[in-house]
Amino acid sequence: MKRDFKLEAKLSLILSVLGFLNIVLLNYLGLIIGFFLSLVGLYIAEDKVRKYTHTNELANIAVYFAGASFIFLGGLGLMFSYFMMLN
């Protein structure tokens, strides 16, 4: 029996988008929650969906949103460290 993993792909997309939006809101609790939501969304998309099917577009979009979240967090970390060096 072949599974299509539609429910898992939708769940990973929702978690990744919520994580991205929490990170973009830029409050400290949102950064932490957004990081973990994106991490869980990425785990579900990579290990549960894309491992077995590479044609699921929702899982691919979830991976892109999770990647954007981590890149945004990295940029915030670089900006924070730069401003801390200036003071």
Averaged over successive runs of 10 residues, the pLDDT of the chain (87 residues) comes to 82 94 87 94 90 84 93 92 89
pLDDT of residue 51: 81
pLDDT of residue 20: 93
Decide if 5 contacts 59 (C-beta within 8 A).
Answer: yes
Whole-structure pTM value: 0.84
- Residue from 67, 40, 39, 44 nearest 56 by CA: 44
Mutual angle of helices 28-43 and 6-24, in 10-degree steps = 160
